[in-house]
Structure 1
Amino acid sequence: MSDNSKPVPGPRAGYRHFHPIQTRWMDNDVYGHVNNVVYYSWFDTAVNHYLVDGGVLDIERSPVIGLVIETRCNYFASIAFPEQVEVGVRVAHVGRSSVRYELGIFKDGEDSAAAQGHFVHVYVGRESRRPVEIPAKMREALARISPD
C-alpha cells in the first residue's frame, strides 16, 4: 500500500501467528461497536503474548523490553460484543533495536481483516531506557513470524 492509496483489508493467510480474543461487554462504545482504542490493546496483547509464550519476554524481569513508538490502525468492518476475534501477527521488519509488527483483526471464521495496522517496538534496556540490540533468542522468535 502506498501513502496515496486507499487501504484494503488483507487476507488471513498473510499472517504467521494468531491469538484469540473474546470481546467484552465494556469494549462496546455508545455506538454499539468495539471502540477504536480497544484494537490497540488487542495489538499489544497479541504481540506480547507471543513473546511471553516464546520464552523471550519476562514482563517483570527481562533486561530488554519493547516500548511502542509508532502505531496505526485502519478499520474495515464493525466488531461488537459478544464476537470472538483473532489477531494475526507478523513481523514486517527487524532492525538493530526495533521491530515493525503488522497485525490483522479477524472476526471468527472470516478471511478478510475487519481491521489491520502496525506498531513499532524499540527495544531498550529496562533500567537505562536507551535502545539496545535485540537479543539473539528474540530475533529467532521474530524470524518465526516473518515472511519467508
Structure 2
Amino acid sequence: MNTGNYQLEDIYSEIRYFISNEPLNPSTDIFKDLGLVGDDFHELIEQYQKQFNVNMDSYIWYFHADEEGLNFPGALFFKPPYERVTRIPVTPELLLKFANTGTWKLNYPEHQLPSKRYDIQTNTIFGATLLVIIAITLIYNFLVK
C-alpha cells in the first residue's frame, strides 16, 4: 500500500465536498459536529478511500456512523449495530493519519452482534403484512361495490 505525504488541508478539501462553510479543525467530529450522517457519511468514507488510496479492510462502519432511512418498527424491538457499540468519532486528524499510512488501522473494542439483523427482518415482516392488509382491503372494497 502506498503511503502519502498529505496535509490536513487535503483532508479538509475532501470534507468540504460534502459540507459547505462549517468550521473545521483537526478534532472536528465529522458525524456529530458537522451532522454528516447516513449515506452522506458513508459516501465521504468511500470517496476518502479512493482519493487517498486507503486500505479499508479493517473499517467497521457501525462504530462511526448510523444508517440512512427509517428503521421502524424493527429498532423499537432490536437495536441496530450502531446502537450496540460506543461510537468512535472520525476526525480530520484520524483521516490524515490513515491517509499517510495507507491503511485504516484502528483497534476496535471487543463487541458481539447478533448473527442476523433482526431489526431489518422485523421491518420486512411489518411491511409485507401491511401490504397484504392493504391489498385485502382494496380487493374487498372492489368486490363489495
TM-score (norm 1): 0.26
Q: Which has the larger radius of gyration?
A: 2
Q: Which has the higher helix share?
A: 2
TM-score (norm 2): 0.26
